Amino acid sequence: MLRLIKTSVEQKEQILAFLEEWYERDERIVPTSVDRETTDFEAYVNTLRQKELRENIEEGWVPSTTYWLTDGEELLGAANIRHELNESLLKIGGHVGYGVKPSARGRGLATIQLQLALEKVKELGIERALITCNRTNVASRQVILNNGGVADTPYTEEDGTIVERFWIDLKG
């Protein structure tokens, strides 16, 4: 059974293996919130957990919670849920950033992970969630559409990258 769990010190070996798989493939880790220095693993966990609290947030950032997708044995993906949106997140990022590790892709896990993450977003009292992806990320676009995403106006970054923006109604 797939579920989302918060970061804990007990996950050290699983998290290190998750990150190493991305590094070995020279891929950008998604969500970027989990791509941090792990030498002091307790500090790594503390940093992620402290971002949930508004009083620990730097100016220009919003509170967020990081969850790991697990089947009970291994970590398959990660999701970062932003508790609110600022001007930047309205353009790029939205309420949820998510990624499935390379070896677990192609099995429909991202669709389930986003569905589970949207349940967490709804628990925060958010009635409409914004999810974004680069136009070139066809797989992520399909995951968002599979979860009820309705296209909004895309955003074009300064370098010309087009970011697709989708809203998902959580009221139901």
Angle between helices 138-146 and 109-123 (to 10 degrees): 50
Entry pTM: 0.94
Q: What is the pLDDT of residues 98-137, one digit of tens each?
A: 999 999 999 999 999 999 999 999 999 999 999 999 999 9
For the record, the structure tokens of 70 come out as 């697990």
Query: What gap in Å lies between CA 26 and CA 136, rounded to an integer?
Result: 19
Give the SS3 label for residue 139: helix
Q: What is the pLDDT of residues 8-22, one digit of tens each?
A: 999 999 999 999 999
Residues facing residue 77 across a β-bridge: 69, 100
Q: What is the pLDDT of residues 21-77, one digit of tens each?
A: 999 999 999 999 999 999 999 999 999 999 999 988 888 899 999 999 999 989 999
Give the phi and the psi of residue 62 in degrees, each rounded to 5.
-130, 160
Query: What gap in Å lies between CA 88 and CA 3, rounded to an integer?
Result: 29
Q: How far is CA 103 from CA 80, 106, 146, in A?
A: 20, 9, 21
HSE-CB of 3 using CA atoms within 13 angstroms: 6
Q: What is the pLDDT of residues 128-152, one digit of tens each?
A: 999 999 999 999 999 999 999 999 9
Percent of the chain scoring above 90 in pLDDT: 94
Name the amino acid, one letter, at 36. Answer: R
Topology of domain 2-169, CATH: Aminopeptidase (3.40.630)
For residues 68 and 77, is the Cβ–Cβ distance under 8 A? Answer: yes
Query: With 90 as the cut, is the pLDDT of residue 92 above it?
Result: yes
Query: What gap in Å lies between CA 168 and CA 128, rounded to an integer?
Result: 6
